[in-house]
C-alpha cells in the first residue's frame, strides 16, 4: 500500500547548519496497517510524514502509494491519496467558514474542480449524521463558524474531514499533543473510531508512549533519521512503557522528546 524505500532528506546540505533528517529510511505498510511512530527530538518523525504527504521531496529514495511512484508528486497532487491532521488545531480547518462549509471543502478536496456537491438538504443531512458520530453536539451547529469551536472540537472536525475522502493513507502528526488530557483522550477515541470504520491505513506520530502502545497494530521508534526499533502486533500486545524506555536507553546519544513524559 505504502512503500518508503531508502529515503534520505538533508536540510542545508554542505553548510554548518546541515541536518540529516532521514537517513536511508525504509518502511512498508500494508492496507489497513496503523503504525504509531515515537522517537527522540529531531529524530525525523515529522520529516517522514512530510515526505509521505509530498510537502517535502526526498533527496534520494522513493515513495510508492498503491504501487504508484509518487516521490516527485507535490502535496496538492497527492491530496487525493493523503489525509493529514496536524498538532495545531488551527491548521486543519478554516476558522471564518462554518462547520458545513469546512466539510464541503473537505469533500471537494482531491476531486476535480466543479465536481463537488453543493450544500443541499441531502448533503446537510449527511454532514449531520457524520458529526453526530463525534458525540460533541456539532450536528446541531452546522452553520456555526469553526473559529468558535474549542481546540478538541476542531481536532475532531479535522479528523472527520481528513477521513471524508477515504484517503489511501492517513497521517496524524502529534494531533492530540496540544490538547488537555481529557480532550486528548476524546480525540484519541474519535481517531480510533474513524480509522476503524474507514479501514484507514494510518501513520501516527505521538510523544505519548502509552498511546503509541495502545493504538494501532505496529509501532516504530526513530532516531537520527532511521528506524531503530520496531514492534509488530504480537510484540506490541505485551509491550510496556518501561520496555520502550529501556530501548531508548540502549540507543547511544538518544534523549527522549521533552514531551514524552507529559502524557
Ligand atoms: N524545514 C526544515 N529546515 C531545516 N531543518 C529542518 C527542517 N525540518 C526539520 N529539520 C531538521 O531535521 C531534523 C529532523 O526534524 P523533524 O522535525 O523531522 O524531527 P521530529 O522527530 O519530528 O522532532 P520533534 O519530536 O522534536 O518534533 C531536525 O534536526 C530538524 O532540526
HEC letters along the chain:
CEEEEEEEEEECCCCCCCEEEEEEEEEEECCCCEEEEEEECCCCHHHHHHHHHCCCCCCEEEEEECCEECCCCCHHHHCCCEEEECCCCCCCCCCCCEHHHHHHHHHHCCCCCCCCCCCCHHHHHHHHHHHHCCCCCHHHCCCCEHHHCCHHHHHHHHHHHHHHCCCCEEEEECCCCCCCHHHHHHHHHHHHHHHHHHCCCEEEECCCHHHHHHCCCEEEEEECCEEEEEECHHHHHCCCHHHHHHHHHHCCCCCECHHHHCC
Domain membership of residue 128 (yes or no) is no
Q: What CATH number should be reported for the domain holding residue 53?
A: 3.40.50.300
Distance 238 CA to ligand 1 centre (A): 31
What is the tens place of the pLDDT at every residue in 34-85? 999 999 889 999 999 999 999 999 999 999 999 999 998 888 888 778 999 9
Distance 150 CA to ligand 1 centre (A): 28
Average pLDDT over residues 175-202: 89
Distance 126 CA to ligand 1 centre (A): 39
Query: Measured from the CB, is residue 47 less than 6 Å from ligand 1?
Result: yes
Distance 122 CA to ligand 1 centre (A): 44
Report pTM: 0.89
Query: Measured from the CB, is residue 20 less than 6 Å from ligand 1?
Result: no
Q: Is the pLDDT of residue 117 over 60?
A: no
Mean pLDDT of the chain: 89
Domain membership of residue 209 (yes or no) is yes
Domain count, the chain: 1
Q: Residue 115's pLDDT band (boundaries 50, 70, 90)?
A: very low
Q: What is the pLDDT of residue 257?
A: 57
What is the tens place of the pLDDT at every residue in 210-228? 999 999 999 999 999 999 9
Domain membership of residue 245 (yes or no) is yes
Domain membership of residue 216 (yes or no) is yes
Domain membership of residue 138 (yes or no) is no
Query: Measured from the CB, is residue 21 less than 6 Å from ligand 1?
Result: yes
Q: Which residue has the CA at smallest separation from atom 8 of ligand 1? A: 47
Higher per-residue pLDDT: 76 or 199:
199
Domain membership of residue 158 (yes or no) is no
Higher per-residue pLDDT: 182 or 260:
182
Q: Which three cell numbers stand for residue 151?
A: 481546540
Q: Tell me which residue range forms the domain holding 22.
A: 2-94+168-261
Evaluate whether 263 touches 210 at the Cβ level (below 8 Å): yes
Domain membership of residue 178 (yes or no) is yes
Domain membership of residue 147 (yes or no) is no
Q: Which of 163, 161, 236, 225 is nearest to 24 (CA)?
A: 225
Q: What is the pLDDT of residue 145?
A: 96
Q: What is the pLDDT of residue 259?
A: 54
Average pLDDT over residues 226-235: 95
Return the number of other C-beta atoms located less than 10 Å from residue 220's C-beta: 20
Query: Measured from the CB, is residue 102 less than 6 Å from ligand 1?
Result: no
Residue 215 Cα distances to 65, 90, 92, 211, 246, angstroms:
23, 24, 22, 6, 20
Q: Is the pLDDT of residue 148 over 50?
A: yes
Query: Measured from the CB, is residue 261 less than 6 Å from ligand 1?
Result: no
Q: What is the pLDDT of residue 263?
A: 47
Q: What's the ipTM?
A: 0.97
Distance 33 CA to ligand 1 centre (A): 25
Q: What is the pLDDT of residue 120?
A: 81
What whole-number distance in Å separates Cα of residue 100 and Cα of residue 169? 24
Query: Measured from the CB, is residue 42 less than 6 Å from ligand 1?
Result: yes
Q: What is the pLDDT of residue 110?
A: 55
Q: Is the pLDDT of residue 182 over 90?
A: no
Amino acid at each position: 500500500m505504502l512503500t518508503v524505500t531508502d529515503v534520505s532528506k538533508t536540510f542545508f546540505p554542505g553548510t554548518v547548519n546541515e541536518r540529516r533528517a532521514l537517513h536511508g529510511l525504509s518502511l512498508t505498510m500494508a492496507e489497513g496497517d496503523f503504525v504509531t511512530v515515537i522517537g527522540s527530538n529531531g529524530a525525523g518523525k515529522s520529516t517522514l510524514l512530510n515526505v509521505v504527504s509530498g510537502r517535502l521531496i526526498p533527496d534520494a529514495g522513493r515513495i510508492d502509494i498503491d504501487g504508484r511512484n509518487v516521490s516527485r508528486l507535490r502535496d496538492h497532487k497527492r491530496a487525493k491519496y493523503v489525509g493529514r491532521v496536524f498538532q495545531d488545531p488551527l491548521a486543519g480547518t478554516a476558522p471564518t467558514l462554518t462547520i458545513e462549509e469546512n466539510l464541503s471543502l473537505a469533500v471537494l478536496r482531491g476531486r476535480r474542480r466543479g465536481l463537488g456537491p453543493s450544500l443541499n438538504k441531502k448533503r446537510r443531512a449527511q454532514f449531520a449524521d457524520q458529526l453526530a458520530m463525534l458525540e460533541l453536539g456539532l450536528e446541531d451547529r452546522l452553520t456555526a463558524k469553526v473559529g468558535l469551536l474549542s481546540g478538541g472540537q476542531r481536532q475532531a472536525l479535522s479528523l472527520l474531514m481528513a477521513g471524508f475522502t477515504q484517503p489511501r493513507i492517513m497521517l496524524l502528526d502529534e494531533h492530540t499533543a496540544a490538547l488537555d488530557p481529557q480532550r486528548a483522550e476524546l480525540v484519541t477515541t474519535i481517531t480510533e473510531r474513524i480509522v476503524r470504520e474507514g479501514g484507514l491505513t494510518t501513520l501516527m506520530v505521538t510523544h505519548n508512549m502509552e498511546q503509541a502502545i495502545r493504538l494501532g497494530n505496529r509501532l516504530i521508534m526513530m532516531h537520527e533519521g532511521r528506524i531503530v526499533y520496531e514492534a509488530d502486533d504480537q510484540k506490541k500486545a505485551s509491550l510496556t512503557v518501561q520496555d520502550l524506555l529501556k530501548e531508548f536507553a540502549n540507543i547511544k546519544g538518544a534523549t527522549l522528546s521533552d514531551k514524552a513524559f507529559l502524557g
